[in-house]
Structure 1
Amino acid sequence: MELSQIEESLKEKTTEKQDLQLLEEMIKAALMYGHKKTRTNPKFKPFIFVNRNNVEIIDLNLTLDKLEQAIEFLKNKIKEKATILVVATQPAAREAIEKLTKEFNFSYINSRWIGGLLTNFNILSKRIEYFKKVQADFEKGEFEKYTKKEKQKINKNIFKMKKLFGGLENLSKKPDVVFIIDLSIKGHRTAVREANRIGVPIVAILDSDDDPNLVAYPIPANDHAKISIDWLINKIIERLKD
């Protein structure tokens, strides 16, 4: 089946003019490209439209439906002033996540998952508070009395902590929602397990190698290409601001 035929078949399933326009945007942004068939998670199969040249093609009409459900859920949570944590440690998502988290003041993790952040939050929150205090003291010049070598050591320590905790400064309690991009990344898998263990709902952009049953609001799409992630996050921002 030729790529142009696949695109036309996807469009034929769409009845609304507005949805057709969105579908065309999604095709251009490469949202429909999953992984090779050998990597397919059996539980993802309902979201697969067809396989082309050993690559899974995701049904973008289902992506659109699931995206709408996820956005409505996030909208309601924002109205409730819920705490939302975004997890996206891959370079392809960095720019989009920075934009999303700044727009809505969400907490985020963009370097690596901190084991126990959800399941041992009381302990981890003390480390976050310590980081905030040390950083504030540094900015106030509290360490000027130390030697050059001591200040370099403190600087290095602050840098390491900022990499871990920099996006968590406003996280004063366990998150009410966790939003993850790509479930297959090692640290992200741990985040999923921790969230499910304590009953925190997950919204996730996930691909053909992921299990959609692990999350409350799956958004099936290409989760490894920057162009796809950018389109999805920009659309989510746009809709959440409506």
Structure 2
Amino acid sequence: MAIISMKALLESGVHFGHRTHKWHPAMKPYIFTERNGIHIIDLQKTVKAIEQGYALVRDTVSSGGTVLFVGTKRQAQEMIQSEAIRCGMPYVTDRWLGGMLTNWRTIRQRINELERLERMRDSGDFGRITKKEALIHMREIERLEVLLGGIRKMAHLPELLFVVDVQREATAIHEANLLEIPVIGMVDTNCDPRNVDYVIPSNDDAIRAIKLMVGKIADAVLEGKALRKEEEIEEEPERVMARTVAEEPELADEELLGESTLAKLTPKGGRFVFDEEEVVVVVDEEEVVAVEEEVVAGEEEVVAGEEEAVLESEDEFVVDATNWNEEDETEAVAEEKTEEE
């Protein structure tokens, strides 16, 4: 289904260009014909360009990007402001300040100054200063609100720029090109399209044509926000599950083993202590002392047994020696008697 129909474009006067003597040669590929001294824009290319720009805006917003609406010409101011507010995007409708993109830090400081003065006004601090100073501050608030009111909620540089009249907003386009910010522009037959990344050939003077184009870009922004919201809803259960798993405490090894298993494994009078790498058995001190006493007593019994064995062996040796001496004496006596005889 087409984003926009040829009938809607014809009814809005999108196809009417400028007089032929005001044309820009670079717009020749987008011109269909000439009629009564006026160039007629090729609406088939306009439809394709709108579809391409619509998809770009939708994808940019769905990924969290910001689109800055720019239109300072009188015919576009009201439409730019109303449609940008409708889709919740920043806009510039009064005058493009030099450096609004390339010197964003200074612009951000002026926005902070505007917010500071508004806080002073709302808190009643203007009543504590002279009337002249209060009047100066009020005029400064009004001036900054006109110049920066549309971008005061823009926290960072935009990811995309949408421009109604590329000839009038040449400074904005130049700054965007320096920062490599893509530009979508409504380009009439008298404009140079070479600095615009996505050219939408269209009448940029007719109010109805401007309203139609700006409305479509705002619709693309709203569709991109809807897609982003759907993605967040789909990702929410996954984030909750991941957070639940991360917060779930790990069970200790002692909790994983059953009571019966622990009872079998635990030594008498002791208990198990589970470490990350090993299992350590911790025994009560009294039990350790008792075991040590038993070991000492056993060692003493062993020593005593060894001593008794040594004594018994010595007694046997003494007895053997005694017996040997008596036999020798008997033999000696018998020999003496034999010699005497």
Using structure 1 for the length normalisation, give the TM-score. Answer: 0.87
Residues 1-242 of structure 1: pairs in structure 2 closer than 5 A:
22-185=5-168, 188-242=169-223
d(CA) in 2 for partners of 1:206, 1:141: 48
Q: 2:316 matched to which residue of 1? A: none
d(CA) in 1 for partners of 2:166, 2:82: 21
Equivalent AA in structure 2 for residue 23 of structure 1:
M
- Cα 1:98–1:175, aligned 2, differ >3 Å: closer, same or farther? same
Q: Which has the larger radius of gyration?
A: 2
Q: Can you give the 5+ residue segments of structure 2 that lack an aligned partner in the other structure?
A: 224-341
d(CA) in 1 for partners of 2:136, 2:82: 32
Contact 2:70 2:161 in 1 (8 A): yes
- Cα 1:237–1:122, aligned 2, differ >3 Å: closer, same or farther? closer
Deviation at 1:240, TM superposition (A): 4.3
Give 3-state SS (helix, strand or coil) of 2:5's partner.
helix
Equivalent AA in structure 1 for residue 56 of structure 2:
F
Deviation at 1:238, TM superposition (A): 3.6
Q: Deviations over 1:144-183 (max 9, x none)?
A: 2122222222111111111111111112211111111101
d(CA) in 2 for partners of 1:211, 1:189: 10
TM-align CA RMSD: 1.7
- Cα 1:234–1:102, aligned 2, differ >3 Å: closer, same or farther? same
Aligned residues, how many? 223
Deviation at 1:43, TM superposition (A): 0.9
d(CA) in 1 for partners of 2:175, 2:12: 32
d(CA) in 1 for partners of 2:222, 2:158: 21
Contact 2:84 2:218 in 1 (8 A): no
Q: Deviations over 1:49-98 (max 9, x none)?
A: 00111111101111010000000000001101112211101121122212
- Cα 1:180–1:23, aligned 2, differ >3 Å: closer, same or farther? same
Deviation at 1:239, TM superposition (A): 4.5
Contact 2:73 2:93 in 1 (8 A): yes
Structure with greater proportional helix content: 2
d(CA) in 2 for partners of 1:136, 1:45: 53
Give 3-state SS (helix, strand or coil) of 1:132's partner.
helix
d(CA) in 1 for partners of 2:221, 2:136: 42
RCO higher in structure (CA 8 A, sep ≥6): 1
Q: Percent identity?
A: 29
